[in-house]
Structure 1
């Protein structure tokens, strides 16, 4: 791994895991038998068997050039659920571990020194981001962490070839009559488009997916369905005008597969109502489409995979399907029974720290969405004793307290979520989230809000990447929130107490390109302060 200073886990956390796991309540079933202690003791970070490069990012790129190897960059955070999902699935695969030996593999944690600078340079914002570079440091592609292991490995195999980078292949696809080779087609189909904000303008996505769908390979139905799913998903996001009647048969083709990829179906998650409204011309088509989606999801549920989160995501889509005509409807008794059973199974099946950090969070989301707030709370509170990053679960606990009308309890959870977190980028983000929820839940408490805002600004002092990437985004969120809160709740309140903290941050980064953004932030708060 990179030789940035590693941030320690909270003291005593690992030593307490076995006892805590044995004594804690089983989520969703308070009177159930607790899982075996061995579940956590079996935690093995197999992903550490990957030959992660020991050195700085600069040295890693130099090594790639010297060895004529492509560079595999993983960017994530220890608390991040989808990052831990990758670590507990793909990164455990022996074939994947062996393949990474053909790359210079770089593990970059977002809380390590200057990580946000590197993230900004390569447009890596969301965790996780996986980028493949050629030996000369040119970005070839970025890969979605949601791909199946087989699809990810196929894309990674192509990355070892002499294929042109995505930026060049896009121009071929959009502006040339040349037919893409199979490998070129796969590179575009498996690219993580929604994590790439530089290659295409927003209005170009649908045009690209249209071209790819028109060239979909007849001998690779799995890849063809992925491309059609991309086109349909983007068309749904673009509004009804883009959803012609021909899309109905295209969607039925996607849903008619004997086997399904979760990644393909999840492209429609959260937008099923819009898809149905745009595509189904009458009640008969509505019912046919409902049956097709339901059948596809049930096929996923009946198919064993190495992803223990798959049943949770699949049941979430079934719940969305049930609510097409009433977004606030409770789940049917039959579906609720399946959701509760899946939550119980997820809690018992999650064996490693990586599995629990992702699976428990996703399970909480499903239970909460189903209205099972008490079961969700029990699940999360148990995780406080088991997780190496327990602070991450305090935000959803705050949300549950707020739903229950316990405002003071919600604020206490948010304070812990901030104060018990660690890592510079993480603490800044959590601190800003704490302030924002205070403004929403207790807007009258100006003294606490301003005091915590000063603390959060102090988190940025001395950070070499304080004004880079996610950190700059968090800073902007804080300033936005302060402006809105003052205007809506405290007209005439002076924000001068924050000016010194921002001035210090700007002074520390006076020689950087980001100084303009910092000064603008300072000016915005100064302009909103009476008498300044």
Structure 2
């Protein structure tokens, strides 16, 4: 799963629920073992797509076979994508269900992938979209939900055949919906919607209206919509009014293990946002609510039917709740010693038990994140460093090490990690993203080092020149980030010479763009103010 989100929010999305198959500690990270692990995913007849022609062939097949199309957009390094491989794509029931649709995979680093991202309005990894064979989008699957629930939503989409946009329009018009249609709205991938159904700022109000309208039809879905409305308020917009009825509903869910288990992904991913939305000010009411949330999260941690990832997410949510009334950027929060001990023990157990290569890519940085949020920075660094040799995408972990050092003021160490992460990164879109992160760190941490900054920027422009998808979607945003930071860096004209050389190089890149849209994005990167 985790898209243009903060690291904390992105990590939330990585943690999916399901039992994980392990390969054995002695062989899990050998090439042969990784190939064996990939075979389970390969049992799904994925068709690789790098351009419009590949997509057209998939839809032509779908039309001839009267099947829908499932499009999965991901990347090798992406933790939630690896979690899908470890928890959903290897399930026998999902593999069997895949016979009913044409499965299309877009790797974000494939040639043309970013152009396809622009076509289908996808930005974040992973995104899963179900289409009918007439190319209408039916729904976006919720990558953060329990794997069994994702499968159920997929089945609902396959059976219903109505685009979610039409279902939503009927709901807003007050027309009657079936329980299945309400469930489709409740489990819609709002986090990967890219504001197609509703602007992000209006999402909490829309979800609250849907929650109200679905009451009496499907109470689990109604509760889910209320929780999603409360949770989405943390990303912009006004939360629904926390009246006595809503507080009572949420309290009843938290007190009921079975009811809370149905909502595990929302509660574990967004406990702190829900707490703030229901109890906006610190005090006795918030403390009581936090205690109830913490009790539910403890049950999730002890629930053997949940994946290691979801249990870890529940622990992270408890840490965030414990930090709620402390400064957000506090490096050494005051936490209960018992909670700190639990964080350390869980991280150590995760490192020991997570032997599947896909799962490790998904959960190790999450465990390191929990350690950092608990103020256990040395433990976080040690876990990441020990995992570098076991990761198929170590540059992702290196970036996290850079972030740890950056937060603690260790400037040179942070820059070394960011630079090494960039140097080790693979794939055109990934390299532009990692390179923009490196440049961002240089500009922030060593703005006086003009030569180093110019060299990094020049390398990124050279790589963009060779990448035909550089001016689309994620790659375009990476380059736009570079452009805006270089412009700010030279706000007073103190680096005019560097910017002049970079603009000259960029002019050469832009001149080679044959499409007007590419040229426009290119020419806008380093415009003079």
What is the TM-score with the length of structure 2 in the denominator? 0.87
| 2:320 equivalent in structure 1 | 320
Indicate how the Cα distance of structure 1 residues 488 and 37 shifts in structure 2: closer, same or farther if over 3 A, else same.
Answer: farther
Q: In 2 relative to 1, CA 71–262 (structure 1 residues): closer, same or farther, beyond 3 Å?
A: same
Aligned match of 1:309: 309
Q: Paired residue for 2:335?
A: 331
The unaligned stretches of length 5 or more in structure 2 are 1-23
Counterpart mapping for 1:436-447 below 5 A: 436-447=440-451
Question: Counterpart of 1:40?
Answer: 29
Q: Which residue of 2 aligns with 1:50?
A: 44
Residue aligning to 2:423: 419
1:160-205 superposed Cα distances (whole Å, 9 cap, x missing partner): 124321111221111x221111222122111111211222123442
- Structure 1 counterpart of 2:523: 519
Deviation for aligned residue 1:509: 2.4
Q: How far 1:480 moved relative to its partner?
A: 0.7
SS of match in other structure, 2:515: coil
Deviation at 1:121, TM superposition (A): 0.5
CA distance in 1, matches of 2:428, 2:495: 32
- In structure 2, relative to structure 1, the CA distance for the partners of 1:221 and 1:150 (3 Å cut) is farther
2:112 to 114, 130, 151: 114
* Distance in 2 (alpha carbons) for counterparts of 1:486 and 1:277: 44
| Contact 1:444–1:489 under 8 Å retained in 2 | no
Aligned match of 1:69 = 67
Deviations 1:112-149 (A, max 9, x none): 01000111110110000000111111111111111112
Deviation at 1:39, TM superposition (A): 4.2
Q: Deviations over 1:7-55 (max 9, x none)?
A: xxxxxxxxxxxxxxxxxxxxxxxxxxxx942443555122121111266
Aligned counterpart, 2:181:
184
Size of the aligned set, in residue pairs, is 488
Partner of 1:361: 365
- 2:175 counterpart SS class: coil
Q: How far apart are the structure 1 equivalents of 2:81 and 2:300?
A: 22
1:473 aligns with one of 477, 488, 501: 477
Equivalents in 2 of 1:294, 1:203: separation in Å?
28
Shift of 1:460: 0.7
Give the secondary-structure state (helix, strand or coil) at the position aligned to 2:270. Answer: coil
1:273 and 1:253 mapped to 2: Cα distance?
A: 15
1:89 has 2:87 as partner: yes
Structure 2 CA distance, aligned partners of 1:206 and 1:300?
26
Check if 1:376 corresponds to 2:364.
no
Over the aligned positions, Cα root-mean-square deviation in angstroms equals: 2.3
TM-score between both structures, scaled by the size of structure 1: 0.86
2:462 aligns to what?
458
Which moves more between the two structures, 201-210 or 78-87?
A: 201-210
Higher CA-based Rg? 1
Residues of 2 paired with 1:235 and 1:392: CA distance? Answer: 29
- The structural deviation recorded for 1:382 is 1.6
The 1:388/1:287 distance shift into structure 2, 3 A limit, reads closer
When residues 244 and 409 of structure 1 are mapped into structure 2, their CA distance, relative to the original with a 3 A threshold, is closer
